[in-house]
Structure formats: C-alpha cells, structure tokens
Amino acid sequence: MNLVPTRVQLNRPLPPLTYLAPEGLPAGVRVRVKVRNSLSFGLAMGADPAPPAAKLRPIEAVLDPFPLLPPKLRELQSFAARYYGCLEAHLLPLSLPQALLPHWEADEDGQRLSFHRERGAWDVLADLGEAWHRDPSILPTLLHRSALRGSGFTEVRLTGQPHPPRVTPAQAKILLALEEAGGALMEPELLESAGVGASVLGTLEKRGLVARMKRVDLLAQRREAGTDRTVTLNAEQQTALDAVPLGHFGVHLLQGVTGSGKTEVYLALAERALAEGRRVLWLVPEIGLTSRLLDRLEARFPGRVAVGHAGLNAGEKHGDVVRLLFNGADIFVGVRNAVLAPLRDIGLIIVDEEHEGSYKSEEHPRIHARDLAIKRAQLEGCSIVLGSATPSLESWQAAQSGRYHLLQLKQRPAGITLPKVEIVDLRETYRKMRRKVIIAPPLMQALAETLARGEQALLLLNRRGYENFWMCRACGKTLGCPHCAISLTYHRGDFRLRCHLCGHETVPPEACPDCGADHLRGVGEGTEQVEEHLNQLFPGARILRLDRDTTRRRGSLEAGLLATEAGHVDILVGTQMLAKGHTFPGLTLVGVLNADQGLKVADFRASERTFQLLTQVAGRAGRAELPGRVILQTYSPEHPAITFALAQDFEGFAASELPFREGLGYPPFTALSLYRAEADTLREAREALEAFRQRLSVPGLRVLGPLEAPVPRIKDRWRMHLLLKGSRGVLGEVLARQPLDPAGAISLDRDPIQFG
Ligand code: ADP
Ligand code: ZN
C-alpha cells in the first residue's frame, strides 16, 4: 500500500497536521493518529499538496471504510466550519458519536471490507459507501458491534472458521440453521429454529465457530403511543399549511400565541412530507419539556419517531444515530446538536420556539442550530418552518422584509381565551408598606384565592439560591468568588455560598473577612427563599421548586412538570425554565415576582428577552377551560417590554424595538462577531486583541474594543472582548483573511447572544 502525505484534522485545539496515509484515502473518513505520544481521533482531509519537510509519521489506523455521513451533511459541516471558524473535526462528534465504529469484517458479496483495505482499493470502498448511503441493507452488519451495550438483541453469526471434523448433533443444528439463514440470525430466532438450548451456543462460541454480538435495538426508543386526537384545522391553520410547499427551499415564520395550534400545523406538514417519502427534522429547545409533543408524534406516526438529546446514555445515543444511518426513523426530534444529525432525504425542517437562546451553543464550536437549520434546508432543497409566539427580532425582520414568508395564527381555537394580565407597581407597594416585599398584597390575595378554589399557581423568579449575595453592612464588602469576578450566592439548604460560574463553594463566614464586623447580610431573594416564604404563608399547600438546583438529576424536571400536570402540586415556583413549552390544565395564576429583573443587564437584547419571558410565562395560565390570570410585579411598569407584554402584543413590541436596533446598529440590522481573548492576565488578553485589531483592514467594518468582558475573570482566567459589526459578508471576509489559530488565546463567537 502506497503511503502519501495526508492532512488530518484532530478534534482538538490544534491546526490540521500532516501524516502518511494510504493513497486515495477519501476525505471525510476518520483515522486514528498519534499526537505526541497519545492516540487521537482525526478526520482525513485528502492529500497534502505541500507537505512539510519534516519526517512524517504514518497514521495508526483507518477507522471508517468510507465517510459515514451523508454527503449533504458533510457539506453542511464544511459550511459551518467556515462560518463559525472551527474545524470540521470539531463538528464531527455532534453528528457521530466517537465510539461508534464500523465493523471492518462486515461482508459485501462474500468480500470483507478489510480485504479491500489490504489491497488499498479505496475507490471500491468509496463506491460501496455511495451504495450504502442509498441502501444501508447492502451492508447490514456494518455498525453491529459487540462493544455496544445497553438494551438490544443479540445476533449470532458464523465466524467463517473451518468446521472441525466433528460436532454434536445439537451444535450441527445451530450451524445448519445459520448457514441456511445466510450466516446470521437473532439469538431467540436461531434457538427456536434449531430447537436447542442457549448453552449449545456458548460451547460453539468457545470453540470459535460462532460469535455473538449485541445489536443495537432499533426499537428500544419507541415510546408508548398516546391517543391521537385528530383535529380539523381551522381556516388560519389550513392557510398556513397550504402556504408551505415541500419540494423546494423556503423559510417560513409561523407566528402565533401559545395554544394557537402551531403544533397541529407542524404535524400536518410532517404528514405531507412523510407521504412524499421524505424525512422530517424537528428541533425543540429542550427535550425535558416535550413529553406531550413526543406522545402526540408517536400517536400520529407510530414507530417512526426517533429522539436524540444530551440526556441519553452512550448506548442510547448510538442506537439513535445508528437508527438514522439505517434510515430507521422518519422523524427525528432533538435539541441543538440534532441539526447535524445524519438524517437523509429531509423534506421538512421544523424549529419550534425558534427564539430560544438554547439553540445557540455557548461552547466551541459555537453554532446556532436555527441558523444552521436554515442552511441545511437550503442544501436539502426543502421548506423550513420557524415557529414561535414571540419570534426573535432577527426572524421577524426577515419576514417583514420579505426574505422569510410570514404565516400567522391570530386566534386560539374555540374555548381557549388569553389570560388577563395585570401589573403591580412595586414602587407604590414600597411607598405604602415602607419595606420591600417579595409578594405584594394583590398577588398574595390572588394566590390565596387560587388555592381556595383548588387551582394551581406558578411563581417565577429568575434567580436561584436563597440570597443573591452577602454584603457586610459595616464596610460594604461583598463576598465574591476567589476565581471569578462575581459574588457568591447563598444556598441555605446546604449552608453554602456558591459561585454560579465555576461552582466554587465555601461555608459562609460568621464575620466579614475584611473588617471583622459581624454585620454580614444577604441581599436579593432567590427561589429557595421564596419557597421557604411560601411554606410559612401557606402551610397546607404543596409547593414544588424547579430550578437548576432541584433538577440536576436526569428526568427530574420532567417528573416535576408531570406531577404538576397531574395536580399533585399547588404552587410551582422556579426560574425561567418554567416559562417554556409546558402547559398545565389546572394552572390559573401566574405571578412574576420581579418582571424587570432581566432589563438591568447590559445587553442590547435585554428588552427582547424580558418581553419573550413575560409573554411566554403568561401563556402558561388558563389554557384549558379555566380562565387565567397573570400578575407582573415590577419597578418599571412604563417600560415597553412590560407594557407590550401586558397587552400580549408581539407586533407592537417589535415595532417599538426595531428602530432602536437600527439606530444603534445592532442585529437584525448588522451582524456581530465577538472575539474573546482569555489569558492569565488582563494585559495578555488585551494585547492579543490589540494585535488582532491592528491586522483588520476590511472596509465596512466597525470595531469596538478591546474592552473588559462584563465578567472580566472566570475560573482564574482574565477575559477581554473585541466586538465587530458589519454585514455577514464582511464578517465572513474578516474570518477568511484572519483565520484564528485554534491553539491561540482568541476565540470567535459569531452571532453571539451571550455577552458575559
Ligand atoms: P401551540 O403549538 O401553538 O402551542 P397546539 O398545536 O399545541 O398549539 O394547540 C393547542 C391545543 O389546541 C392542543 O390541545 C391542540 O390539540 C388544540 N388544537 C389546535 N388546533 C385545533 C383545531 N383546529 N381544532 C381543535 N383543537 C385544536
Ligand atoms: Zn467562581
């Protein structure tokens, strides 16, 4: 086999390296290489036309016989790598679990894949790969792996070892049954057709005549089918349905308040796509909130739905991906990374709650799943539907300008009314009561009435812990994290002061570490305190707190939501995770304790986020037969984010907010690239960005900074920002001309949504 210099990308912060690899090795296959002295996964990128002069090392192994991912997905990855300034190898694990390795002993017309490898016949393998992509059944055992654990069937295969002169009659029955079945059978089936016990298999296995392999259970993730309540679409829904053609690319923004029937439109569209023999990619912001949706999907499309999300264990994840590679599911529902799932022949993409920030990755590679979904739809030539009650202003502006097609659902189906929203002015409460209160009298009264009627209430406070921070009243010192530039939050349940950025924790001191006075005092209540307060106020009520502290365990958020839905909870208190997607038939009161909390952060989207949060949480009240009531406590009742939320008027809000964005040159009117530098000292971080700034010379670019990041230190690393504003084209050109060193101090966040 002829070895030639070949470029290999590693899934590490390193530039591509050159190794010796078999000539003709196609780009896109995974290889194993040695870096320094450890083994690493890499992605072959084709022959290196200008290899370095140094002596090159050979690769250790070729892992895939051909690129496993469908060609369009590889195109999407290559686009994403260029757009977000990362390597394709960094995106690969989002599509394909690293531990999922093909089986080189798999047969194709009696020829093992390894046979072609030994001959260096990469072109034969590449052709085979093309054929496999069209019909995975030509290599059915490619991804069967004995190493895969978890639920599954055991498959028994002949090893091909020469038969010994003599076997027992029971063993002969097994061998014959396997021969007849073409060499492999599922264990239960085999035992039944041979009419022998499992112990015989064990003996044959020991003698090396058969091998048992765990085959991923393609059906393990099937959900219980719920009951399908087919509805007749109303006129608005029907109009929306008819407006989305399936055969070619187009972006559709479906705007409609919670409960207006968006999901019914998605379901009807999915039905059409499936009827045309194509597949549906369905993105949701958070899987824990979608159990209702999954039931509805399973009821409508039994056995055809697969689900992928971070909460799955390794075996389940493999099952998931294998199922997609095998074309074993027609609808794939998943969170952010699912946008890169190896689903083929996509005929429709749905992005539900498209405004949600969870679609944006806050770690490298910092992809935005909604934006990549649009690119994917373009590559696949299909329609994409972005749905929300409160679309992002980016999508809304695109719809206003005609780039996206706007579809609206203005009415809720009969029998469901919008809740009544009221405001409590906390400034007035303070004047009257002469002290700060967490729950003002009008909300308190509403709570008592709701409980008396046997209905449920939800209280939202977007801050977890007991108290936001501790301050010394004598000297003014606040207790901060030693590793980060933020204060520690008091958690009373486990008596700790804890950093919400790095997790550092400490037992609260008795006296101020600076001045020694015992005047330390907590400031700013959190959900833990509200829960305690409610327990004192309503001793008989069943109170459940849901925030990041109480939902760490997998499935606990879902369990809490289901308990609430089943009526086992009277008051639900928690953070913004409660505002999303879930509905409770018995919930009639929603209280937001500090509606303007989110307005104080220095972020041009603060207003938009607050409006979205308030509107979404208001939508939780009174969805079924009972009328709902929403009470917003606020210190700034005149703020547009609050007044438009009060009127539940999305279009009004957008019309008032967009001119500000335009005036200040923020998205959706310009695009942003945030370059972050992290270093051991602030000076190093600043110098890295200043040097970078010197090199920028692209016309049409506005540069802000370098400036200290809003949180200038996290985990002992100092952080500076450089913000670039310009068109997407200009920002793309900056990246093309000034590519970042993956091992350098500067990282890029394109289209950033978090500026911390
Ligand atoms: P959204 O996704 O906008 O929140 P859904 O599609 O979940 O709204 O609809 C809310 C509720 O109204 C669901 O229970 C749904 O079955 C019901 N619904 C939606 N459209 C109709 C319709 N045309 N006729 C009757 N019920 C409907
Ligand atoms: Zn910290």
- Determine the residue of 234, 264, 290, 385 to mutate for testing ligand 1's pocket, defined as the one with the most ligand atoms within 8 A of the Cβ atom: 264
Which of 161, 168, 164, 171 is CA-nearest to residue 191? 171
Q: Domain spans of the chain?
A: 3-96+103-138, 153-215, 235-409, 420-466+525-660, 671-750
How many residues does this entry show for the chain?
Answer: 756
Angle, helices 650-664/606-618, rounded to nearest 10 degrees: 170
Rounded to the nearest angstrom, the distance between the alpha carbon of 711 and the centre of ligand 2 is: 11
Tell me which of 648 and 440 has the higher pLDDT.
440
Q: Dihedral sign, CA of 288, 289, 291, 294?
A: negative
Q: Dihedral sign, CA of 563, 565, 570, 574?
A: positive
pLDDT in tens, 179-237: 876 677 777 778 888 888 888 888 888 888 888 765 443 333 344 445 566 789 999 99
196-200, 223-227, 322-326, 363-367: least confidently modelled range: 223-227
Q: Are the beta carbons of 271 and 300 closer than 8 angstroms?
A: yes
Domains 420-466+525-660 and 671-750 belong to one CATH topology: no
Examine the pLDDT at 575 and tell me if it is beyond 80: yes
Q: Are the beta carbons of 607 and 567 closer than 8 angstroms?
A: no
The pLDDT, as a whole number, for residue 404 is: 98
| Per-residue pLDDT band at 159 (split at 50, 70, 90) | confident
Angle, helices 291-300/556-565, rounded to nearest 10 degrees: 80
Cα distances (angstroms) measured from residue 714 to each of 337, 508, 675? 26, 21, 16
Other C-beta atoms within 10 Å of 475: how many? Answer: 12
Q: Dihedral sign, CA of 732, 733, 736, 737?
A: negative
Q: Is 371 near ligand 1, meaning CB less than 6 Å away?
A: no
Name residue, tokens 């559709």: 252
Q: Using the 8-state DSSP alphabet, how is residue 368 labeled?
A: B
pLDDT in tens, 686-723: 999 999 999 998 888 999 989 999 999 999 999 999 99
The pLDDT, as a whole number, for residue 281 is: 96
Q: Does domain 3-96+103-138 have CATH number 3.40.50.300?
A: no
What does the pLDDT average to over 144-168? 65
Ligand 1: atom nearest CA of 266 is 6
The model's pTM: 0.86
pLDDT in tens, 408-440: 998 776 556 778 899 999 999 989 988 888 999
Q: Is 260 near ligand 1, meaning CB less than 6 Å away?
A: yes
> Is it true that the peptide bond before 668 is cis, omega within 30 degrees of 0?
yes
Q: Are the beta carbons of 173 and 166 closer than 8 angstroms?
A: no
Residue nearest atom 23 in ligand 1 by C-alpha distance: 233
The pLDDT, as a whole number, for residue 315 is: 53
Q: Are the beta carbons of 323 and 304 closer than 8 angstroms?
A: no
Rounded to the nearest angstrom, the distance between the alpha carbon of 547 and the centre of ligand 2 is: 19
Residue nearest atom 9 in ligand 1 by C-alpha distance: 261
- Which of 295-304, 475-484, 636-645 has the highest average model confidence (pLDDT)? 636-645
CATH topology of domain 153-215: Arc Repressor Mutant, subunit A (1.10.10)
Compute the half-sphere exposure of residue 273: CA atoms within 13 Å on the CB side of its CA: 34
Q: Is 259 near ligand 1, meaning CB less than 6 Å away?
A: yes
The pLDDT, as a whole number, for residue 506 is: 92
Q: Nearest bound ligand to CA 350?
A: 1
Residue nearest atom 10 in ligand 1 by C-alpha distance: 259
Compute the half-sphere exposure of residue 297: CA atoms within 13 Å on the CB side of its CA: 26
What share of the chain in percent tops pLDDT 70? Answer: 92
Q: Is 583 near ligand 1, meaning CB less than 6 Å away?
A: no
Mean pLDDT of the chain: 88
Q: Are the beta carbons of 308 and 376 closer than 8 angstroms?
A: no
Q: Does domain 671-750 have CATH number 1.10.1220?
A: no
Q: Is 234 near ligand 1, meaning CB less than 6 Å away?
A: yes
The pLDDT, as a whole number, for residue 449 is: 96
Residue 61, helix vs strand vs coil: strand
**Cβ burial, residue 532 (10 Å; 0-12/13-18/19+):** middle
Q: Are the beta carbons of 297 and 331 closer than 8 angstroms?
A: yes
Examine the pLDDT at 16 and tell me if it is beyond 70: yes
The pLDDT, as a whole number, for residue 243 is: 95
> Is it true that the peptide bond before 640 is cis, omega within 30 degrees of 0?
no
Q: Is 147 near ligand 1, meaning CB less than 6 Å away?
A: no
The CA angle 342-98-743, to the nearest 5 degrees, is 105
Q: Binding site for Zn(2+), residues?
A: 472, 475, 481, 484, 499, 502, 512, 515
Q: Is 352 near ligand 1, meaning CB less than 6 Å away?
A: no
Which of 349, 354, 350, 332 is CA-nearest to residue 341? 332
Name residue, tokens 């990246």: 735
Residue nearest atom 5 in ligand 1 by C-alpha distance: 261
Q: What are phi and psi of 530, to 5 degrees?
A: -60, -40
The pLDDT, as a whole number, for residue 81 is: 96
The pLDDT, as a whole number, for residue 184 is: 72
The pLDDT, as a whole number, for residue 276 is: 94
Which ranges of 329-470 does DSSP label H, i.e. alpha helix? 369-380, 393-400, 426-433, 441-452
Tell me which of 461 and 208 has the higher pLDDT.
461
Rounded to the nearest angstrom, the distance between the alpha carbon of 386 and the centre of ligand 1 is: 17
The pLDDT, as a whole number, for residue 160 is: 72
Rounded to the nearest angstrom, the distance between the alpha carbon of 238 and the centre of ligand 1 is: 13
φ/ψ bin of 292: left (φ > 0), alpha (ψ from -120 to 50), beta (otherwise) = alpha
pLDDT in tens, 669-692: 999 999 999 999 999 999 999 999
Give the CA diameter of the chain: 99
pLDDT in tens, 583-610: 788 899 999 999 988 888 778 999 999 9
Dig out the tokens for 278 from the structure: 């194509």
What does the pLDDT average to over 657-669? 95
CATH topology of domain 420-466+525-660: Rossmann fold (3.40.50)
Q: Nearest bound ligand to CA 501?
A: 2
Report how far residue 206's alpha carbon sits from residue 642's, in angstroms, rounded to the nearest whole number.
72
Instruction: Mention every residue, 6+ apart, whose C-beta is less than 8 A from residue 560.
Output: 544, 546, 550, 551, 569, 572
Other C-beta atoms within 10 Å of 699: how many? Answer: 7
Q: Binding site, residues?
A: 472, 475, 481, 484, 499, 502, 512, 515
Report how far residue 634's alpha carbon sits from residue 626's, in angstroms, rounded to the nearest whole number.
26
Q: What is the residue type of 657? A: E
Rounded to the nearest angstrom, the distance between the alpha carbon of 234 and the centre of ligand 1 is: 10
Q: Nearest bound ligand to CA 300?
A: 1
Ligand 1: atom nearest CA of 237 is 23
Rounded to the nearest angstrom, the distance between the alpha carbon of 180 and the centre of ligand 2 is: 65
Q: Nearest bound ligand to CA 480?
A: 2
Q: What is the CA radius of gyration of the chain?
A: 29
Residue 458, helix vs strand vs coil: strand
Residue nearest atom 24 in ligand 1 by C-alpha distance: 231
Dig out the tokens for 558 from the structure: 């879902």
User: Which superfamily is assigned to 235-409 in CATH?
Assistant: P-loop containing nucleotide triphosphate hydrolases (3.40.50.300)
Angle, helices 187-194/198-206, rounded to nearest 10 degrees: 110
pLDDT in tens, 245-255: 988 999 999 99
Q: Using the 8-state DSSP alphabet, how is residue 145 labeled?
A: -
Report how far residue 412's alpha carbon sits from residue 671's, in angstroms, rounded to the nearest whole number.
35
pLDDT in tens, 114-153: 999 999 999 999 999 988 888 877 887 787 644 344 444 5
Q: Nearest bound ligand to CA 353?
A: 1
pLDDT in tens, 254-286: 999 877 899 999 999 999 999 999 999 999 998
Hey, which bits of 309-398 come out as E strands? 331-334, 346-352, 383-388
Rounded to the nearest angstrom, the distance between the alpha carbon of 512 and the centre of ligand 2 is: 19
The pLDDT, as a whole number, for residue 271 is: 95
